[in-house]
Every structure is written in structure tokens, then in C-alpha cells.
Amino acid sequence: MANDKIKWIRDWLYMKIAVVGGTGDCGQGFIKRWAGEHEIVIGSRKADKAEAAAAELTRFLKSRGIDSRIKGMDNAAAIEASDLVVLSVPYNFVESMTSNLRESYGDQIVISPVVPMARVGRHFEYTPPAQGSAALLARDLLPPSVRVVAAFHTISYAAFQELDLTLGGDVLIVGDDPEAKEVVADLVRVVKDLRPLDGGPLELAAQVEGLTPLLLNIGRLNKIKNAGINVVSC
């Protein structure tokens, strides 16, 4: 009886998180850092590829003593099965991951860590679409019932997926729905030493997306590995 109740509470606290593009490099960090706390559904264009990635990540996490519940599905099924979707894809896939899969979305929270940027010479520049940012493009293409939150632009993907690394840095969160932003802030807090900060409404997503090319340039020019930011007070 007591055990049942604990199980029920655990099930309730679990979220089902779809990581679309979860077989790519960018998705690994989200899965590895969250799989101990939440159920993960890896989405890919091919279900078998997603299933293979799920099996491999389950084994990897087991070897680290982390019990996980990770499934693999095609993107449409992954989105339909989830409470929250991470758009873990390069910018040029945002349109296909939103408009083409529009019918799979209901009232999920969608996290966009996406950054439109280009290499110009030796530097990265922010190259937002006409909507102003990748997050606003995603919002325009998704059903209005979906709550888009932009976050995780200042965390190096390379560092994010290395579970042994303690990530010291701030994650700036922008979005229009306070509850959705708080859910995302909790997902930031799951990762020890990361601090969530409110960056304002989704209209300001360009401000945080633009930090990625800035940090890539500063990291290279000043030899700072996996550069992130801390907002400090004077």
C-alpha cells in the first residue's frame, strides 16, 4: 500500500519528455542529464534508429548506476506520447519538426534551444529569421495550445553530455507562460550547479539565442573551453 502510493507519486512527478533529434549529438546531454528523473522518448525520422539509441543510452546509464526509462519512436509518435518536447535539432530542421508534425502536437511545452547562426570568416554571427528568432518561428508554426519556451543556449553541448562535468553556468529562459517557464526552470535545477534565470517574454528570444555565437567566439578568442555565462552582481 505504502509502496503503491510512492510509486503513484513517482509516476506523477515523472514527465514524459520527447527529445526530437535525440539520436544526434545535441540531444545526448538532455537525455543523459534528465533520464534519472523523467521518462525520455527519443524521436527520430526512423523509429528503429531511435530504438537503437534508446537501448544504447539505457545501457550506458545503467553502467553509471542510473536507472532510466528511455524509449525510441518516430518523431510523430514521440511528440504525441510526451508532455514536453525538446527541439534538439539544427536550425534548418525547425520548420520540418514543427509545421510538418503540427498534428502530433497538443498542449505540450516545447523547449527550443535552437540557434540560427552562420560562420563568417573565423566568427559566428547570429542570423535570425524574419520572425526575429528561431523560438518565434517555432511558435508561429505550432498550434497555439503549445507553449514554447527558449532555453539552454548558453550550455556547451559537449560539456552537457559529460556526466562527470559539473556545469557552472546560468541558463536563461524566455517564454510567455509562467507555468511552462517554471517547469523548464525545474529541468535546469535537475542538473547540479546550473542556475535558471528568467530572461523575459518569448519576444526577447533573440537576446538569448544570440549568446551562442557570442560565446563560441569569445571561447575561441580567449581560450575558454566550453564557454558559458554567469550573471553576476556588482
Q: Is 201 in the site for a second copy (CB under 8 A)?
A: yes
Smallest distance from a second copy to CB 166, Å: 8
Of 13-21, 37-45, 76-84, 219-227: span binding a second copy (CB under 8 A) = 219-227
How many other C-beta atoms are found inside a 10 Å radius of the C-beta of residue 157? 18
Q: Is 168 in the site for a second copy (CB under 8 A)?
A: yes
Separation of alpha carbons 67 and 54, rounded Å: 13
Burial (CB count <10 Å: 0-12, 13-18, 19+), residue 133: buried
Given 49, 52, 81, 126, the residue binding a second copy (CB under 8 A): 126
Given 86, 89, 172, 184, the residue binding a second copy (CB under 8 A): 172
Which residue pairs from 102-106 have beta carbons closer than 8 angstroms and sit at least 24 positions apart in sequence? Answer: 102/141, 102/142, 102/143, 103/76, 104/75, 104/76, 104/77, 104/79, 104/80, 105/79, 105/142, 105/143, 105/145, 105/146, 106/80, 106/143, 106/145, 106/146
Q: Is 205 in the site for a second copy (CB under 8 A)?
A: no
Given 57, 134, 183, 215, the residue binding a second copy (CB under 8 A): 215
Whose grid coordinates read 545503467? 62
Q: Is 204 in the site for a second copy (CB under 8 A)?
A: yes
Q: Is 203 in the site for a second copy (CB under 8 A)?
A: yes
Given 2, 3, 164, 225, the residue binding a second copy (CB under 8 A): 225
Q: Is 224 in the site for a second copy (CB under 8 A)?
A: yes
Cα pseudo-dihedral 97, 100, 17, 182, rounded to 10: 80
Q: Is 131 in the site for a second copy (CB under 8 A)?
A: no
Q: Is 113 in the site for a second copy (CB under 8 A)?
A: no
Smallest distance from a second copy to CB 157, Å: 11
Residues whose CB falls within 8 Å of the CB of residue 143, separated by 6 or more in sequence, listed in order: 102, 105, 106
Q: Which residues bind a second copy (CB under 8 A)?
A: 120, 123, 125-126, 155-156, 159, 165-169, 172, 197-201, 203-204, 207-208, 210-211, 213-215, 217-219, 221-222, 224-234
